[in-house]
């Protein structure tokens, strides 16, 4: 899953990026509203964490501009504004959730997981395909009740394919949702990670779609 963090406080921005990357997400950051809008209209994101007190373009204006073009992107506002009226403005403006600073990272991450599950109509933290099982909360994978050791990127690829089980996913879409915006979309890194995943998973679960991408059929 790919997240955009728009936050002008450098220490907090870097902390949020590092924390979510440790949880297995691909993360891009922007330090002001203008940069945030540029990134969101160029790249594909599953969720945005948005501050309100931003330089250049304020957070509510960013949210308004996004909602003119994209009704589906999940947006979580993270703000020091504690007034109920401010929360109402944010939620009425199209935000999916609103958290007040200071906050506990574990709660923020739980809300991120909740919003992402809604994005893919996924109610459980466990995603399954036959004997293959992913826990999207603990970021652990099992097959035949045995744990599979996966890298962060391998887990993210497998997670996205399982959430979209039965649907053919293009290589471009997979890379957009798994790698950050600095990744080279023309490199063979995706193929290398898929090859590594296949060596770790039994029954050749991940199928190739020649000249297009990959899919998991739902049948082992």
Q: What is the pLDDT of residues 202-211, one digit of tens each?
A: 888 999 999 9
pLDDT digits (tens, 9 = 90+) for 160-180: 999 888 889 999 888 888 887
Angle between helical axes of 189-200 and 152-163 (0-180°, round to 10): 80
Of the candidates 61, 100, 56, the one whose C-alpha atom is nearest the C-alpha of residue 80 is 100
In three-state secondary structure terms, 122 is: coil
- % the chain with pLDDT above 70: 93
> For residue 120, what is the DSSP state?
T
Cα-flanking dihedrals φ and ψ of residue 151, to 5°? -75, 170
pLDDT level of residue 186 (50, 70, 90 thresholds): low
pLDDT digits (tens, 9 = 90+) for 142-154: 999 899 999 988 9
Element holding 23 (H helix, E strand): none
pLDDT level of residue 189 (50, 70, 90 thresholds): confident
Is pLDDT above 90 for 136? Answer: no
Any long-range contacts for 207-215 (C-beta under 8 Å, 24+ apart)? 209/168, 212/168, 212/170, 212/171, 213/168, 213/169, 213/170, 213/171, 213/172, 213/173, 213/174, 214/161, 214/168, 214/169, 214/171, 214/174, 215/161, 215/164, 215/166, 215/167, 215/168, 215/169
- pLDDT number for residue 202: 84
Is pLDDT above 60 for 119? Answer: yes
pLDDT level of residue 123 (50, 70, 90 thresholds): very low
pLDDT digits (tens, 9 = 90+) for 79-115: 998 898 988 999 999 999 999 999 999 999 999 988 8
In three-state secondary structure terms, 71 is: coil
Is pLDDT above 60 for 121? Answer: no
Walk me through the domains of the chain, giving residue ranges and CATH numbers: 2-119 (3.40.50.2300), 126-216 (1.10.10.10)
- pLDDT number for residue 200: 93
């Amino acid at each position: 899953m790919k997240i955009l963090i728009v936050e002008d406080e450098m220490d907090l921005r870097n902390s949020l990026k590092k924390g979510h990357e440790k949880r297995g997400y691909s993360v891009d950051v922007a330090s002001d509203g203008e940069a945030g809008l540029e990134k969101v209209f160029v790249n594909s994101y599953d969720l945005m964490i948005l501050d309100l007190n931003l330089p250049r373009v304020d957070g509510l204006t960013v949210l308004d501009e996004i909602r003119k073009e994209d009704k589906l992107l999940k947006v979580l506002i993270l703000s020091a504004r504690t007034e109920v009226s401010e929360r109402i403005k944010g939620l009425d403006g199209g935000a999916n959730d609103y958290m007040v600073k200071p906050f506990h990272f574990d709660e923020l991450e739980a809300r991120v997981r909740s919003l992402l599950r809604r994005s893919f109509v996924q109610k459980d933290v466990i995603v399954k395909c036959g004997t293959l099982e992913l826990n999207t909360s603990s970021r652990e994978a099992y097959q035949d009740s045995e744990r599979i050791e996966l890298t962060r990127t391998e887990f993210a690829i497998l997670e996205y394919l399982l959430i979209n089980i039965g649907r053919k996913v293009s290589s471009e879409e997979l890379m957009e949702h798994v790698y950050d915006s600095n990744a080279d979309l023309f490199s063979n890194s995706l193929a290398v990670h898929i090859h590594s995943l296949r060596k770790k998973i039994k029954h050749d679960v991940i199928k190739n779609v020649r000249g297009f991408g990959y899919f998991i059929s739902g049948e082992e």
